[in-house]
Structure 1
Amino acid sequence: MNISNLTLEQKIGQMFICGFHSLVPDDQIRTLIQQYHLGGVIYFRRNIDELEQVASLSKSLQDLAAANGSLPLWIAIDQEGGMVARIDHKKMSRIPGNMALGATDNPEYSYEVSVISAQEMTQLGINMNFAPCVDVNNNPLNPVIGVRSFGEQADKVAEHGAAVIRAFQENGISAAAKHFPGHGDTSVDSHMGLATVEHDVERLQQVELKPFIRAIQEQVDVIMTAHVIFPAIEPEPIPATLSRSVLTGLLREDLSYRGIIVTDCLEMHAIAKFFGVGEGAVQAIEAGADIVLVSHTLSDQIEAIEAVKQAVLSGRIHEKTIDTAVERILALKQQRIADVPEAEAAPVFFERHEKPEVDRLLQEVARKSITLVKDQGQLPLDTQSSVLVVWPEVRSETQVDEPWTEVVTLGDALAAYIGEVKEIRISAEPDEQEIELVLREAASCSQVVVATYTAGSALPEGQRKLVEGLQQQKLGKLIVASTRNPYDLNDIPGVPAYLCCYENTPYFMEALAAILAGHSKAEGQLPVSLDDPNAVGVN
């Protein structure tokens, strides 16, 4: 992998990772590899069907690059765990998300589950994971990080993040710590707009930067940028992704980072809407980024690549800047993926019950994660009486909220312990008709368990109204369990019992059911602070 053998176009191509929209190589990705010498691809759920298909797709893409005389590809993904997992398949181990791991207060669990994830991704031909998210989530109104963070304490986020990085990179996956210099204390989703973190440098060093400093000490391969404005570091109103003060001044010079800097996707509104994808790519490279991520649209991808080429030809970007970035990229490719192995046979993937050691570990992590925040005499349920379960269904999908297609509801899980379980499934944003249906059914029940689900910054209004209506009915037992955002309690502070699950995946619902039925205890430690004075403190 010698940079002197590459043309300008080939070098620029190495600086881009792009996505496409099919289960097999399509015209979009063929164009990018064959005509633009693409350095890497990124998978989304649109690229995933059977696991054997993913492994075959990875091999086909590498073969396409090789046939074009190109270097081996990065094959990247956002397989964070929990509610952000691009590979949704029953044979893929359901790795818990970061906040659930933070609630265990045990970085060894973060290491062990990440080893499993890395080994499975390697079988699929994936060699880069845009994880872990090491943002410190200390803003309850954050609409985009939330449970993707290990918690609100910087030191603990740093230790969990380091464990994940070590697990990935020891098992052949380049880790990418994100979103530098920290997306945790924002109330704007950078997919939709521009956020600003107003803290001074001293506070940033004490909180936001700590996990990244630890990641650098762990020799993380990649750091991903945040499309967030940091006035204390960059005086101009531009996001970190486009700021030379942030990427070169802070990350390269002050923190002595020597690995690869990759941008978050430039098609996110924080860049595309305010700067444009092409201009954003140029400014990101000027700022110090080595790799530009453009995930979705072929016209945007070509625009960005061509804009960088024209910037070099016009003298705006010196070719030495390109060479420095590509040298880093080639060095890491040499280390991680210089020899793409020929698959002698299709890899074998196993059902959950065929992986007993993995199954036991993930069950244990779920038990150690679930947190009992408050209980005013509501637990356990009377297993000899009927129970009404209210289950919110996630009926829409975003890039940071990806429910698994194989669902085990809380009602399903409770049926193993209680003879009569009635479950009403409602929308995560229930309307008045759904609310009235639940309240009518609850009127004749002595025990009601409500699962809440918040993907954004606040409990949806319909869920809040529903819980308040149930409180007014003076039920025998009313228990609320948040199945994603732990901050739901801030919107329904009067509930008599509240547990946090951090995700609604099967291991967690099965563990929650056992706790509700009195067969086990909630052992998790709350990794964030809540407003309720009766809530347990942050760990």
Structure 2
Amino acid sequence: MDISKLTLEQKIGQMFICGFHSLVPDDQIRKLIQDYHLGGVIYFRRNIDELEQVASLSASLQNLAAANEDLPLWIAIDQEGGMVARIDHKKMSRIPGNMSLGATDNPEYSYEVSLISAEEMVQLGINMNFAPCLDVNNNPQNPVIGVRSFGENADKVSEHGAAVIRAFQEKGISAAAKHFPGHGDTSVDSHMGLATVEHDLDRLQQVELKPFIKAIQENVDVIMTAHVIFPAIESEPIPATLSRSVLTGLLREDLTYKGIIVTDCLEMHAIAKFFGVGEGAVKAIEAGSDVVLVSHTLSDQIEAFEAVKSAVLSGRISENTIDRAVERILALKQKRIADLPASDASPVFLERHEKPEVDRLLKEVSLKSVTLVKDQGQLPLNINEQVLVIWPEVRSETQVDEPWTEVVTLGDALAGWMEDVQEIRISAEPDQEEIEKVLIAASSCTQVVLATYTAGSSLPEGQRALAEQLLQQNHSKLIAASTRNPYDLNDIPGIPAYLCCYENTPYFMEALASILAGQSKAEGKLPVSLDESNMVGAN
């Protein structure tokens, strides 16, 4: 991998990771590889079907790059675990998310499950994971991080994050710690707008920056930037992704980071809406980014390539700046993927029941994670009586909220312990008709379990209204269990019993059912703060 043999276009191409929209190489990705010498590809669910298809796709893309006499590709993905996982397949181990792992209070679990995830990704030809998320989620109103964080304690986030990085990189997957310098204390989703973190530098060093400092000590391969404004570091009202003070001054010089800096996607509104994708790419490289991520739209991708090339030819960006970035890129590719075979491969995936050691570990982690926050004599359920379970379904997809194809509802899981389980499925944002249907069914039940689901910053109004009306009915047992963000109790403080699951994935619903039925104890520790007045009687 000799930079002197690369043309300017090839060097610029190495500085881009882009996405496309099919299960096989399409015209979009062929054009980016063949005409623009693309350095890397990012997968989304739109690229995923069978696991053998993913492995074949990875090999086909590498073959395209090799046929174009280009360097091996990074093949990247957001396989964070829990509620953010692009690969949703029954043969893929359902790895817990960060906050679930944080609730175990055991970084060894984070290491062990990440080893499993890395081993499986390698078999699919994936060599970079945009994880772990090292944001310290200390803002209950954060609409985009939430359970993607290990919690609100910077030291614990640092320990768990370092364990994940170590596991990924031991197995040959480049870890990408995100979102530098920290997206945890925001109330705006940077997919949709510009957020600002107002804290002074001393506070940032004590909280937000601490996990990234630990990641640098762990020799993390990649750090991803945040589209968030930090006035304490950058005097101009621009996000960290475009700030030389943040990326060069703080990350490169002050924190002495030597690895790759990659932007978060420039098509997110925080960049595209306020600066434009092409100008955003130029500004990001001027600020100190080595790699630019443009995930979706071919016209935006070409605009960004051409804008960077024009900036170099005009002298706005020096070719020396390009060379320094590409030297770092080549060094990492040499280390991680230089010997990657460019041929079709069949991954040796086993069915879930054929991986007993993985199954045991993931069941253990889920039981160590589910957290009992409050119980005023409601647990366990009487397994000889009927129980009504209310299950909110994820029916729409966002970048961080994706419906699963393999769903085990809480009702499904409880049916393994109780004979008379009735379940009503509602929207995560139920309308009045759905609420009335639930209330009619609940009026004749002595035991009701309300699963809550919040993807954004607060419990949806319909779920809140339903909980309040259930409280007015006379149930011998009324229990709420959050199946994503743990802050739901703050919106329904009158609930007499409350558990946190951090995700609605099968292992966690099975663990929750076991706890509700009195067969297991909830052993998790709350990794974030809730309103203490709501926790009277908490165990």
Q: What is the TM-score with the length of structure 2 in the denominator?
A: 0.99
Q: Aligned to 1:533, what secondary structure does the other structure show?
A: helix
1:420 aligned residue = 420
- Look up the match of 1:208: 208
For residues 295-334 of structure 1, the aligned pairs below 5 Å read: 295-334=295-334
CA distance in 1, matches of 2:438, 2:378: 20
Task: Quickly say closer, same or farther: Cα 1:2–1:460, change in 2 above 3 A.
Answer: same
Query: How big is each residue's C-alpha offset from its partner over 1:166-195, in whole Å with a ceiling of 9 and x where there is no partner?
Result: 000000000000000000000000000000
Q: What are structure 2's unaligned runs of at least 5 residues?
A: none
Residues 285, 536 of structure 1: CA spacing in aligned structure 2 closer, same or farther, 3 A cutoff?
A: farther
The aligned residue for residue 350 of structure 2 is 350
- Percent identity of equivalent pairs: 85
Quote the Cα distance in structure 1 between the aligned partners of 2:227 and 2:504.
29
2 CA distance for matches of 1:292 and 1:5? 22
Instruction: Name the counterpart of 2:450.
Output: 450
| Aligned position for 1:162 | 162
- Verify the 8 A CA contact 2:494 2:534 in the aligned structure 1: no
Question: What letter is aligned with 1:403?
Answer: P
Alpha-carbon contact 1:490-1:532 (below 8 Å) kept: no
- Contact (CA 8 Å) 2:55, 2:344: kept in 1 or not? no
The equivalent of 1:135 in structure 2 is 135
Distance in 2 between residues matched to 1:235 and 1:37, nearest whole Å: 36
Q: Find the aligned partners of 2:537 and 2:70 in 1 and give their Cα distance.
A: 54
Residues 26-37 of structure 1 aligned to structure 2 (within 5 Å) = 26-37=26-37
- Residue in structure 2 matched with residue 265 of structure 1 by the alignment: 265
Q: CA deviation at 1:536?
A: 8.1
Counterpart-to-counterpart distance in 2, 1:172 and 1:260: 16
1:9 corresponds in structure 2 to 9
Bigger mean CA deviation after superposition, 235-244 or 338-347 = 338-347
Q: Report the counterpart of residue 43 of structure 1 in structure 2.
A: 43
SS at structure 2 position matched to 1:156: helix
- Once residues 83 and 534 of structure 2 are traced to their aligned partners in structure 1, the CA distance between those partners, rounded to angstroms, is 28
Q: CA deviation at 1:351?
A: 1.1
Gaps of 5+ in 1: none
Higher deviation after alignment, 338-347 or 397-406: 338-347
In 1: Cα distance, 2:21 partner to 2:362 partner? 32
Give the equivalent residue in structure 1 for 2:87. Answer: 87
Q: What corresponds to 1:186 in structure 2?
A: 186
CA RMSD of aligned residues (A): 1.2
- Which residue is equivalent to 1:408? 408
Cα–Cα, structure 1 residues 345 and 179, in superposed 2: closer, same or farther, change >3 Å? closer
Q: How far 1:343 moved relative to its partner?
A: 4.9
Supply the AA of the counterpart residue of 1:175. A
Q: Distance in 1 between matches of 2:485 and 2:176?
A: 24
Given that 2:381 and 2:517 are in contact with CA atoms closer than 8 Å, whether structure 1 keeps it comes out as yes
Matches of 2:253 and 2:343 in 1, distance apart? 42
User: What is the correspondence of 1:94-133 to structure 2 with a 5 Å cutoff?
Assistant: 94-133=94-133
Work out the CA distance in 1 between the residues paired with 2:219 and 2:402. Answer: 30
CA distance in 2: counterparts of 1:354 and 1:56, whole angstroms = 23
- 2:240 is aligned to 240
Whole-angstrom distance in 1 between the partners of 2:536 and 2:365? 20
Residue 350 of structure 1 deviates from its aligned partner by: 1.3
TM-superposed CA distance for 1:524, in Å, is 0.1
- For residue 533 of structure 2, give the secondary structure of its aligned residue in structure 1: coil
In structure 2, how many angstroms separate the alpha carbons of the residues matched to 1:37 and 1:483?
A: 43
Quote the offset at 1:346 in angstroms: 1.6
Name the structure 2 match of 1:501: 501
Alignment check: 8 A CA contact 1:369 1:522 kept: yes
Aligned-partner Cα distance in 1 for 2:55–2:31: 21
Equivalent residues of 1:190, 1:228 under 8 A apart: yes
- Equivalent residue for 2:224? 224
Cross-structure match for 2:62 = 62
Contact 1:137–1:146 (Cα < 8 Å) also in 2: yes
Residue 347 (structure 1) shift: 1.9
What is the CA-CA distance between 1:532 and the residue it aligns to?
A: 3.8
Deviation at 1:528? 0.1
Residue type matched to 2:372 in 1? L
Counterpart position of 1:172:
172
- Contact kept? 2:59, 2:345, Cα under 8 Å: no
Give the CA deviation at 1:348. 2.1
C-alpha spacing 1:76/1:345, structure 2 compared with 1 (3 Å): closer
Which residue in 1 is equivalent to 2:517?
Answer: 517
Whole-angstrom CA distance in 2 between matches of 1:417 and 1:346 = 39
Kept in 2, the 8 Å contact 1:529–1:538? The answer is no
Amino acid at match of 1:252: R
Find the aligned partners of 1:432 and 1:506 in 2 and give their Cα distance. 29
Amino acid at match of 1:116: I
TM-score (norm 1): 0.99
The CA deviation at 1:403 is 2.8
Q: In 2, distance between residues paired with 1:350 and 1:51?
A: 11
**Aligned AA for 2:459?**
L
> 2-side partners of 1:14 and 1:248: how far apart?
20
8 Å CA contact 1:526, 1:537 repeated in 2:
no
Partner letter of residue 290 of structure 1? Answer: D
AA in 1 matched with 2:363: Q
Conserved? CA contact 1:78–1:129, under 8 Å: yes
Instruction: Determine if contact 1:139/1:187 at 8 Å carries over to the other structure.
Output: yes
Q: Could you give the per-residue CA deviations for residues 406-428 of structure 1, whole angstroms, max 9, x where no partner exists?
A: 00000000001111000000000
Aligned to 2:486: 486
